[in-house]
Structure 1
C-alpha cells in the first residue's frame, strides 16, 4: 500500500468509516478476497473516491454480469482506470445487448472488452448507427470480422473515414473495391494514409502486382514496409532470379511468417547466395 499512499497521500487523512470501509464492503459483498481488493486499489487508488452506492457497486455488478467471474472483473479493473467514470449500465451493458442482438456471441464480446475496452463505453445509439453503416457495405453479420468492422468504424470520425475512401479512390480502387477491402480486413482502415500509400506504391513498383491483387489481399497494407515487405520481397526476387525456388510462393504466406520462420525457410538455406545483398529489420 506504500505506493498507493505516495500516489494518493490524502488516503492517510480519509475517514475510515465513511470513506474507505463502504468501498471495501462493496468488494467484499461481491466475493472479492482481501488480496483481490489490495490488487484493485493498488492498480487504481482513485477507485476509493467513487460513490459506493451510485457508481462502484452498480459498475461492479454490470462487469460481473457481463464477464461472469470475479477473476475477469479483477482483470478488467486492472486496465487503465477509467471504467468507473462511466455509467456502465447505460453504456457497456446496453452496447453488449446491442451486439448480442446482432448475433455476436459472449466469448467474442468478452475478448474485445479486454482488448478494446473504450469501444464499449461509446453511446449505444452511435453503435447502432455504425452497425447500419457496416451492414450497408454488405458485411455478413455472421462473420467473425463483423465486430472488428464495427469497432474500427466506431473509432474513426466521418472525416477520417472519407479521407481514407478518397485515398483508396486515388490509388485506383472503385467503391465496390473499397467495400470489399473493408469486408476482408476492416483493420486496414485504421492504418495511416502514408502507410497505405507506401505499401501500394511498393507493390505496384515491382511490376508483379496490380491494384486487383491488393484489393484481394488487403492484409498486405498492414505490414511494415521497411521491416517486412521490402526485405522479404528482395529475398524472393534474388532467389527467383537464381532459380532457387521450385515453385511460386504466396506473398501473403511469406509475410505472415515470423522473422525466425522466414529465415529458416528462405534465408539460412541460401545464406551464400544472399550474403550482403539483403537485410531484414525487426518485424
Structure 2
C-alpha cells in the first residue's frame, strides 16, 4: 500500500525510479541560496548577472574568511563583489560582538557572503537586537544567515508574531525556529494559506502548533502536496487524531515520492512484507528518513550478527532509528559482559532492552552491576567494543517475541 500510493501519482515509471532516475524537488529541503535568489531577497545589484571575471580582491578576502578558493571564486563571480573591506571587517566584528564564535562567523560568511556588503549598524544590528529581545541567542543565525537579508519590519517581526499566535508562547517560537531556522524565510502570504489548509483538513489548533514544533519546515510545503499527504495518510488508515499522524505527515512531506517508493523497495528487498512495513511506519514514521546505507547496515547487523528475524526487527522499528555505534552496540557489549559473568539470564528478549530509555537501561544493566563487573561502565560508554555473542552465550528468543506480538 505504501508503494502503491506513491506509484499511483507518479508520472515516472517505477523501474526508472528504482534505478535512481526521476527528479523532483523536496520542498522542505530546497536550497536556501536558490530560494533567496529566486524570491528577490537580495537587492537587484546583488542578483545581477555574474561578472565574467571574479574580482581578485573579493576572492582573496573571502578566502581569508575561511572559504575554499573555488567557493570564493564562484561567489565572487555570481553575486558578491566586496568594495569596502572595512565594512566587511565590521560585519564580522559585529557577529563576534553578539556571541558568534570564529567557526560560526566563518560558517555565516560561507553560507551568505553577500552579508559582508551590508551596513552592520543600520541593517544587521537591529535584527540581532530583535532576536536577542525575543530570547534567541543571535548565534543561532549562523545556521541560516540568509535571515539577516530579510526586512526586519516587513518580514521578521510579522513572521514571529504570526508564529506566536499559533504556538502560544515565545518559548515555543524559539524552539520551533531554532529547530528549522530556514523556515523563517517563508513569506507570510505563503505560510498563512498553509496553516489554513491544515485547518480545512481537520487538524485542531493544538495539533497545528505541535506540527510546527515538530518541523516548522511544513510551512514551505506546496498546498497541493499538503492535500495529497492528507489523502495518503487517510488511505493508510491514519486519522488526524492518531498519535503518529503528525510525525507521519512530516515524513511524507519531507520525501520526494520517488524516494518514498525506493525506500519501500529497499525494505521489501530484505523480505519485509507490506503489512509489517505499514505497521512499522505507523509506529515509527521516521524509519523512512533513515538513509539507505544506514538501513542496510542496521538490518545486516541485526540479521547476521544478532541472528534476529526481520519480522522481529520490524516489530520494534525504533531499532532502525537508533545509532549502531552510539547506542545499540554499546548496549550489546554490556549485555554480553553480564551474561558471561552469569549476572543475567541467557534467555531474554533482546530488542526491548536495546530500545529502552537510556536511563532505564543504565539503571537496570549498568549501575546495578558496576561494582561487581566494573567493565560494564566502559562498555556502556563505548570503550569496550562488542565482539558478538558467543555460541551458546545468548539464546535470542525471537519466536517468543513473535508470539508476544500475536
TM-score when normalising by structure 2: 0.53
Q: Aligned partners of 2:207, 2:272: CA distance in 1, in Å?
A: 32
Q: State whether residues 322 and 328 of structure 2, in contact with CA within 8 Å, keep that contact through their aligned partners in structure 1.
A: yes
Alignment gaps of 5+ in structure 1:
25-31
1:232-271 aligned within 5 A: 232-240=331-339, 243-245=342-344, 248-249=348-349, 251-258=351-358, 261-268=360-367, 269=369
The 3-state SS of whatever aligns with 1:143 is coil
- Aligned partner of 2:315 in structure 1 is 216
* 1:242 CA drift (Å): 5.6
The 3-state SS of whatever aligns with 1:139 is coil
Q: CA RMSD in A?
A: 4.2
* 1:226 CA drift (Å): 2.4
The 3-state SS of whatever aligns with 2:379 is coil
Q: Aligned partners of 1:274, 1:75: CA distance in 2, in Å?
A: 39
CA change 1:105–1:144 in 2 (3 A) is: farther
* 1:244 CA drift (Å): 3.2
Q: State whether residues 64 and 73 of structure 1, in contact with CA within 8 Å, keep that contact through their aligned partners in structure 2.
A: yes
Aligned mate of 2:287, from 183, 188, 206: 188
Q: State whether residues 164 and 193 of structure 1, in contact with CA within 8 Å, keep that contact through their aligned partners in structure 2.
A: yes
Q: Aligned partners of 1:244, 1:37: CA distance in 2, in Å?
A: 53
CA change 1:253–1:56 in 2 (3 A) is: same
Q: State whether residues 130 and 150 of structure 1, in contact with CA within 8 Å, keep that contact through their aligned partners in structure 2.
A: yes
CA change 1:47–1:95 in 2 (3 A) is: same
Number of equivalenced pairs: 267
Pair 1:163 & 2:262 matched:
yes
Render the CA deviation track for 1:198-249: whole Å, top value 9, x for unaligned.
Answer: 2222222356531221221111111122232223234334544665336734
Q: State whether residues 179 and 215 of structure 2, in contact with CA within 8 Å, keep that contact through their aligned partners in structure 1.
A: no
Higher relative contact order at CA 8 Å, sep ≥6: structure 1 or structure 2? 2
Q: Would you tell me which structure has more helix in proportion to its own residues?
A: 1
Q: State whether residues 148 and 186 of structure 1, in contact with CA within 8 Å, keep that contact through their aligned partners in structure 2.
A: yes
Aligned mate of 1:62, from 162, 182, 207: 162
Aligned mate of 1:205, from 263, 285, 304: 304
Pair 1:36 & 2:133 matched:
yes
* 1:70 CA drift (Å): 5.5
Q: State whether residues 167 and 209 of structure 2, in contact with CA within 8 Å, keep that contact through their aligned partners in structure 1.
A: yes
Render the CA deviation track for 1:229-275: whole Å, top value 9, x for unaligned.
Answer: 223234334544665336734522443231x6534422341665684
Q: State whether residues 244 and 285 of structure 2, in contact with CA within 8 Å, keep that contact through their aligned partners in structure 1.
A: yes
CA change 1:9–1:153 in 2 (3 A) is: same
Q: Aligned partners of 1:272, 1:234: CA distance in 2, in Å?
A: 16
Q: Aligned partners of 1:13, 1:110: CA distance in 2, in Å?
A: 35
Pair 1:86 & 2:154 matched:
no
Q: State whether residues 147 and 185 of structure 2, in contact with CA within 8 Å, keep that contact through their aligned partners in structure 1.
A: no
The 3-state SS of whatever aligns with 1:140 is coil
- Aligned partner of 1:126 in structure 2 is 225
Q: Aligned partners of 1:200, 1:41: CA distance in 2, in Å?
A: 41
CA change 1:271–1:115 in 2 (3 A) is: same
TM-score when normalising by structure 1: 0.72
- Aligned partner of 1:179 in structure 2 is 278
Q: Aligned partners of 1:116, 1:239: CA distance in 2, in Å?
A: 40
Q: Aligned partners of 2:225, 2:235: CA distance in 1, in Å?
A: 15
CA change 1:213–1:140 in 2 (3 A) is: farther
- Aligned partner of 2:94 in structure 1 is 3
Q: Aligned partners of 1:262, 1:41: CA distance in 2, in Å?
A: 37
